[in-house]
Every structure is written in C-alpha cells, then in structure tokens.
Amino acid sequence: MQQYVDYHYDGPAFDLFGAGHLLAMAIVAAVATYLIWGWRDPSEQARRRARLLIVGAMLLIEVSWHGWNLLNDAWSYRQHLPLHSCAISVWGSIYVVLTRSYRVYEILFFIGTAGAVQTLLTPDAGDYGLPHFRALQTLSAHGMIVIAMVYMTAIEGFRPTWGSLWKTMLIGNVYLLVVTAVNYLIGSNYMYTLRKPATASLLDMMGPWPWYILWGELVALAMFLLLYLPIWMAERQARRQTVSIR
C-alpha cells in the first residue's frame, strides 16, 4: 500500500481510458444522472445533508492534496496556489454549495464544469497510475466539481442564463491576463498560459504557443454552448407548455 502514497512512485503510469479511468468517469456520470433524474423532491433536510456531504468531500480531497505535498516537501507557490481554473472551481464550488450564491454559480457552471470534464477525460496525473493517491485525487477532485454543479442545477434549481455565458467569457479572459502576469512575475505556469502541460491534454491538438491559447478560447466557447444547450432546450419546452396551457 505504501507505494500508492509515495511521492517517488515507480509503478505503472496512468492508463488513459483504461479500466480504472473508465470506472471513475462512470461513477461521476452515475451520480450526476441520479441527481438529474433519480432524486425527486428531496426535503430541505436531505438537501442540507447533501450539501454538507459535497462540501466535506471537496475539503477532504483538497486538504489531503496540499498535505501530501507538504509532507513530501514538494509544495511550491509556483505550482500549488489556487490559480488554475480547476483549483479555483474547487474552492468556488465549496462556496456556492455552502452559501447558494447565484453570482458565483453562474460563472462556475461554465468554467468549473467545462474544465473539470476536460480534466476527467485527460487527467493531469503525470506518471502516477491508479490506484495511487495522486491519480485518485485528480479524478475525485474534478469529479466533485461536476457533481457540485449538477447538484446546484438539478436539486437547488439554479440556472445559468445566456448572459451568464458571455459574462463568463469576459471574466475568463480578464483572468487569463491577470494570471499570465502572475506567471511572468513568479515563474509559474498557471492556466498553462506560457507553455503546455507536460502530460497529454487537449492543448496538444491546438498547435504551439500562443496559438493553442486562441484555439482554447474557441474550444471553451463551444463547450460553454454545449453546456447551455440543454438548459435552453428545457426552458424553451417549458415556455411552449405554458403557452399551450393558456
């Protein structure tokens, strides 16, 4: 068991779309499916327990990640500050679930879900294969972002708007400029604005720097539109039913 928590791991690397990876994605998909179609009219007490469970799981995952790096003398302000979009999404999701803040939700619905889904598909686990702590932490942290956003949408009844999508694009671009300046100042590579990640990712298909950033903008917009599509379709159907009743 010790090898699965060791920082210097010499076991098999992460098996992209291997059995363990597919199982992890299936678990996230199953929980999301249950929240959307299976959990009908939960009481306020049940929703409160669910919120505490989501927050507790996300805190445990995030604290254990920083603790593991600190214990191995590997924590660095150039790598572990909460400046990557998914790190922000973890803490933002905790805040949204605890406070039920719509203003934060409408941004995280797009940034958090899109970023987490992309990372679930191509995890940045490096040489750490399942069931190593690092691989489990990566999959569970991003899976919980998806679950938190699905929960707030399906159970708490929050909905992003068309304006939320464009607000997210604006805020995201401003943040890219800010984090790029931070990267130049401290020698980091948060949000991968200076170079691509070392492990395989969607950015590998988008050309060299800085073109992959521009392509990334288009991919982000496409993902945001896909995320908004079922919301738009459901609202359109609801409007049609209202008109027909009248």
Per-residue pLDDT tens over the stretch 2-57: 788 999 888 888 888 999 999 999 999 999 999 999 998 899 999 999 999 999 99
Q: Distance between CA atoms of 145 and 149, rounded to whole angstroms? A: 6
Q: What is the mean pLDDT of the chain?
A: 91
Residues 6+ apart with CB under 8 A from 61: 90, 137, 140, 141, 144
**pLDDT band per the 50, 70, 90 thresholds, residue 149:** very high
- CB neighbour class for 144 (10 Å; exposed up to 12, middle 13-18, buried from 19): buried
pLDDT score, position 245: 60
Percent of the chain surpassing pLDDT 70: 96
- pLDDT of amino acid 105: 98
pLDDT digit string (tens) for 156-191? 999 999 999 999 999 999 999 999 999 999 999 999
What's the pTM? 0.92
Quick check: 192 pLDDT over 70? yes
Question: pLDDT tier at 246 (50, 70, 90 boundaries)?
Answer: low
Report the interhelical angle of 19-33 vs 133-154 (nearest 10°): 20
CA distance 231 to 236: 9
- Cα distances from 11 to residues 63, 130, 132, 155, 216, in angstroms, run 25, 9, 9, 41, 33
Q: Locate tokens 């489990």: which residue? A: 136
